[in-house]
Amino acid sequence: MSRVALSLLSLLAALLFTEVASAHGERNQEPFLRMRSAHFFDVTWSKTKLAVNEEIVVEGKFRLFKDWPVNLPKPNVVFLGNGTPGPVFARVESWINGQPAIQSMALKRDRDYTFKTVLKARIPGRHHVHPMLNVDGAGPLLGPGDWVEVSGRAADFKLPVTTLDGTHIENLEHWATGRVKAWHAIWLVIALAWLGYWIRRPLLIPRYVALREGNEKALVSHTDLAVGAGLIVVVVALVVGGFVYTEAEYPRTIPLQGGRAVVEATPKSDAPVTVIVDRATYDVPGRSMKIAATITNGGQHSIQFGEFATSNLRFINRAVPAAVAHVDPRYPKELLPRNGLKVADTTPLAPGETRKVELEMTDAAWETERLTSLINDPDNRVGGLLFCYDDRDERLVANVSGSIVPVFMDVASAQMRMTH
């Protein structure tokens, strides 16, 4: 079989058996980035079906993890964005803790923040929509995503805006694009004219011969110098003239990202639940995360352990009704592992009590979310949030972090093989 035939067969196989890429690359982010940077929770999407020009509200909370990876820059410059497959939505509002989030800001670790973004549908299709934090030097930190279907025609999209001086722009989508195209055309004509001036004469061989013979002065004539000087005058005149005209046409301008917003973090709880990880293991063949921890209840009421959240996955303890009731029926099912959270001792933890607690999260989600590569991380640490519910169904949130050890075989099965 010829090489051409083999190439065609390989291309056909790739087209037939390769899955279509969908959603985002959050599964390709390293586990340490997803487990120990920003944890989103209570995230909701106001709707999952809308038409072009309609709005969707994505809101919820996030906590910047206390055990922030040492190889990531601190969250001193953070911008609230939205993770979508391109500009399929226009963000018209964004808020953090009730304050406008149109600028970057410094946020504190181990603190909770509420967020809200209002997105206007722009391009029809089925899109995966995430909340997202962009951290300077660390990149995008994606929250959970849900599928949103947008109907209608992209040509019908309009984004009306009224500026601070009262000017009404009917559609920001196409406002002043003619001027932008005109400036591009001007610079393109100048560039092509300058290029054409030089390539109208022989370029390579004659110039090479002139250089070898030491006749460099013949390469640039007085006419060439005059044309170059004239081009400099034209370019400077265009730049200065364009600047003066723009200043006269738009006397009030505000530079984007000209400062840093200040947002106060939500106060920390006075009676937190403290979790000290004694041992954490990940059973590779069994796809099971097991955490043995010493947990202290510093509150006034007994608590139960209702949920463990990490990397946008929510392991729910279905034996705790308050935890089940806290799950929105519309929440993305792929982010709710079916096996949930298992607790060895289901007795409520009394106020002031300290107990050894064993948590188990066994599910194929560790594999499908590509979190098993955490065993290759340099620091081998796990991170997440433990949601506890007291006897009044109020929720307390505790950090869980510690070193993790991979287990590559079932110990009990190995012992049985050794006895036989």
Flag whether 285 is in a domain: yes
Domain co-membership, 152 together with 191: no
Confidence of residue 374 (pLDDT cuts 50, 70, 90): confident
Kindly list the distances between the CA atom of residue 274 and the CA atoms of 3, 25, 226, in Å, as whole numbers in the listed order: 64, 33, 77
Let me know whether 131 and 226 are in one domain: no
Q: What pLDDT shows up at residue 285? A: 87
Say if residue 101 is in the same domain as residue 124.
yes
Q: Give the span between the Cα atoms of 290 and 277, in whole angstroms.
A: 11
Rounded average pLDDT over 362-375: 86
Q: What percent of the chain has pLDDT over 70?
A: 90
Q: In terms of domains, do 311 and 188 share one?
A: no
In a domain, 40, yes or no: yes
Q: Which of 27-31, 50-54, 171-175, 188-192 shows the lowest per-residue confidence on average (mean pLDDT)?
A: 27-31
pLDDT-derived band of residue 14, with 50, 70 and 90 as boundaries?
A: very low
Confidence at residue 11, expressed as pLDDT on a 0 to 100 scale: 52
Residue 301 lies in a domain: yes
Indicate whether 3 pLDDT > 60: no
Q: Kindly state whether residues 53 and 184 are assigned to the same domain.
A: no
212-257 pLDDT tens trace: 877 777 777 888 899 999 999 999 999 999 999 989 988 887 776 6
Same domain, yes or no, for 25 and 144? yes
Q: What is the pLDDT of residue 416?
A: 40
List pLDDT tens digits, range 71-99: 889 999 999 999 999 899 999 999 999 99
262 or 306, greater pLDDT? 306
Domain housing 324? 273-416
Provide the CA 409 distance to its chain's centre, in angstroms: 35
Does 373 lie in the same domain as 294? Answer: yes
197 belongs to a structural domain: yes
Q: How confident is the model at residue 65 (pLDDT cuts 50, 70, 90)?
A: very high
**Tokens read off for 36:** 């120990």
If asked whether residues 406 and 278 sit together in one domain, one would say yes
Count: domains in the chain: 3
Residue 57 shares a structural domain with residue 186: no
Nearest to 297 by CA among 347, 341, 361: 347
Domain boundary among 215, 249, 283: 249
CATH number of the domain encompassing residue 381: 2.60.40.1580
Residue with the bigger pLDDT between 87 and 7: it is: 87
* Residue 343 counted as domain residue: yes
Domain assignment present for 319: yes
Say if 378 falls within a structural domain. Answer: yes
Give me the phi and psi of 161, to 5 degrees please. -140, 140
> What pLDDT does residue 415 have?
45
- Output the domain CATH number for residue 127: 2.60.120.570
Q: Are residues 369 and 288 in the same domain?
A: yes
For residue 116, CA distances in Å to 77, 109, 132, 187, 195 come to 18, 19, 11, 41, 51
Residue 171 belongs to some domain of the structure? no
Q: Examine the domain organization and report whether 91 and 189 are in the same domain.
A: no
Residue 203 shares a structural domain with residue 224? yes
**Residue that is last in its domain, among 121, 139, 165:** 165
Q: What does the H/E/C string look like for the chain? A: CCHHHHHHHHHHHHHHHCCCCCCCCHHHCCHHHHHCCEEEEEEEECCCEEECCCEEEEEEEEEECCCCCCCCCCCCCEEEEEECCCCCEEEEEEEECCEECCCCECCCCCEEEEEEEEEEECCCEEEEEEEEEEECCCEEEECCCEEEEEECCHHHCCCCEECCCCCEECCCCCCCHHHHHHHHHHHHHHHHHHHHHHHCCCCHHHHHHHHHCCCHHHHCCHHHHHHHHHHHHHHHHHHHHHHHHHHHHCCCCCCCCCCCECCCCCCCCCCCEEEEEEEEEEECCCCEEEEEEEEEECCCCCEEEEEEEECCEEEECCCCHHHHHCCCCCCCHHHCCCCCEEECCCCCECCCCEEEEEEEEECCHHHHCCCHHHHHCCCCEEEEEEEEEECCCCEEEEEEEEECEEECCCHHHHHHHHHC
Domain endpoint, select from 216, 249, 282: 249
